[in-house]
Amino acid sequence: MNIAVIGTGYVGLVTGAGFAEFGINVTCVDKDADKIARLERGEVPIFEPGLEELVRRNVSAGRLHFTTDARSAVQHSLVIFIAVPTPPQEDGSTDLSYVDEVARTIGVHLDGYKVVVTKSTVPVKTAERVRRTIVEAATVAGKLGIRCSVASNPEFLREGSAVEDFLHPDRVVIGADDPEAIAILKDLYKPLNLIEVPFVITNVATAELIKYASNAFLATKISFINEISALCEAVGADVHHVSRAMGLDGRIGRKFLHPGPGYGGSCFPKDTLSLVQFSREFGVEQRIVAATVAANDAQRERMITKVEQMVGKLRGKTLGALGLSFKPNTDDVRESPAIWVIRQLQERGAHIRCYDPEAMKTAARELSGVEFCEDAYDTAKGSDALLFLTEWNEFRKLDLARLKELLREPVVIDLRNVCEPAEMLQMGFRYTGVGR
């Protein structure tokens, strides 16, 4: 079977390389000729553990191809995945212009039965919009009577674990109204039967909503424990003990109960806002999700207050910032709490020295006026305080005595609870974490 994946961003590239690993012939399409040329050379433009090796192996095996020729990819493929960006608009709704463009391209080049699959995260009823757009474009192009199924197959890829998530997923969701399309998509994922991955087969609207409901619930857990962390600080409780005890309850679970400066990344901020927005179009209010968004904003603001309480007036101060990506094991800084915090500190007159193991290049496109450093120790040198903004593993075992020597003042503001409070105080640091 030949398939095409249109869009070679984070989702599209992992999806294409993952299906190629299953032994399927995959063509990835993008308008960016320079990006396609780099991918053909085996150069992966994003940092994701295991992805570069996966791409190179399948390009070498002849199963993974890259092109700017959408017509050829569409006409030689039975299944076409739409994996283009769906960024938020100013009102929180989802910008579907890239999806519309791809749908028109598919319609113009249809030459036989195809299964078109939305892999991008899109609001409920987008598949119907894609179907209409394809039919309209095909009609204008004189391609009448050609059958086309439109399905939803949402992605559940965690940045930093995306390759593993694709090859060993918790579940595969297939939303389609056409039995033939369902059979084709189940056949695509047939290798996962060997590891007994659960399949959820449903209608299109349900599949589209599953993605939003999942992300909104996880974001809610994060905002919940962040609000509890503020209460812990007020009453003298330890949020780590609270969250651990909560997580041991099988009804709650341990994951996403780690306090910090709020959620970020390419999914949670965008998807929570989008869910609130498109739900209103159907006459339904998502009050819990709206509160989650508000709580996340408040948590970020609370982090700035923490810094001011520890450092005093920020104007003229030099602050070291460890971590720029929104989470460890990725170079993605989209909606990163670290970037937001740094910008707020800069607005208050602080000079920022910063370091991240992987995200320096991407962060350089988002930040100006900061000083990028060689490592954690270089970041601490001459700083009035050191901030932990992303919980990279390499930050967990730093030489604390050396850090103390390098800092102008022994102040550590740990917004990811990387350090142990008792150890920091014993070493003579003025220390604060989140909820501890």
Q: For residue 150, what are the β-bridge partners? A: 116
Question: Residue 264 contacts by C-beta under 8 Å, 6 or more apart in sequence?
Answer: 326, 327, 334, 335, 336, 337, 338, 340
Q: Which two tokens stand for residue 149?
A: 């199924």
Q: Is 176 helix (H, G, I), strand (E, B) or coil?
A: coil
CA nearest neighbour of 366 among 346, 392, 384, 390:
346
Dihedral pair phi/psi, residue 224, rounded to 5°: -60, -50
Distance of alpha carbon 358 from alpha carbon 216, whole angstroms: 27
CA nearest neighbour of 338 among 351, 325, 356:
325
Q: Which two tokens stand for residue 290?
A: 């709206």
Do 407 and 400 meet the contact criterion of CB atoms below 8 Å apart? Answer: no
Which residue carries 């063509």 as its tokens? 27
Do 8 and 16 meet the contact criterion of CB atoms below 8 Å apart? Answer: yes
- The DSSP annotation for 388-412 comes to E-S--GGGTT--HHHHHHHSSS-EE
Q: Is 95 helix (H, G, I), strand (E, B) or coil?
A: coil
Q: Which two tokens stand for residue 67?
A: 């092109």
Active-site residue set:
267
Do 185 and 119 meet the contact criterion of CB atoms below 8 Å apart? Answer: no
Q: Which two tokens stand for residue 358?
A: 């992987």
Do 67 and 73 meet the contact criterion of CB atoms below 8 Å apart? Answer: yes
Dihedral pair phi/psi, residue 402, rounded to 5°: -65, -40
First to last CA, the chain: 55
Distance of alpha carbon 7 from alpha carbon 105, whole angstroms: 13
Distance of alpha carbon 413 from alpha carbon 419, whole angstroms: 10
DSSP state of 207: H
Distance of alpha carbon 18 from alpha carbon 8, whole angstroms: 13
Query: How many residues does the structure list for the chain?
Result: 436
